[in-house]
A = this chain, B = another copy of it.
Amino acid sequence: MGPIMSAETRLAEKLSELGLDMPPAPEPKGLYRPLVVVGDMAYTSGHLPVDAAGRLVTGRVGDDVDIPTATHAALLTGLSILATLRGELGSLDRIRRLVKLLGAVNGTAEFTEQPAVINGCSQLLADIFGPDAGIAARSAIGVASLPLGVPVEIEAVFQVEV
């Protein structure tokens, strides 16, 4: 985990450790772009949990989805964000730091462990970008419903090399 190891190398190792392949970079679901870069700030759209075959994870936490499944969905959402960054920037090694995450969890009114769910994404990004550059200011909220019935949607802001 020294300074020589790149984010791309860490991601390859992490995928191997998890036994996962990268999901495809997401196609926009509407009139938006997955990433907009202004100056050295890169704003992602809200990303959804998809597996390597492009299948969406769906369901509501506290109803038909449990916390481990939702946390894994947040990890998949993080991989989808990384797929967008790599596709748009060419390499994850152009990322200087993760700045901000907003995570919305589709859960029952009684569900109050949104931070534990969003940690699935935050842990991935900390593993890839390191314990300083990979940890964001973050908000986690509970919402009544999400696009296509997914359990989690996450948007991110990164600082990038220009």
Contact = CB atoms under 8 A, between A and B. Distances in A.
A36 interface: yes
A155 B33 CA distance: 16
A35 interface: yes
A111 B145 CA distance: 7
Chain A interface: which size bin? Answer: 35 or more
B35 A137 contact: yes
Contacts of A112: 145-149
A57 to B, nearest CB: 13
The prevalent SS among residues of A at the interface is mixed
A97 to B, nearest CB: 7
Interface string A9-35: 000000000000000000001111111
A144 interface: yes
B144 A107 contact: yes
A151 to B, nearest CB: 12
A65 interface: no
12 contacts: A31-B119, A34-B137, A35-B137, A38-B159, A102-B102, A102-B155, A104-B141, A112-B145, A113-B147, A141-B143, A141-B153, A142-B147
Interface of A: 29-36, 38-41, 43-46, 60, 97, 99-102, 104, 106-116, 118-119, 122-123, 126, 135-149, 153, 155, 157, 159
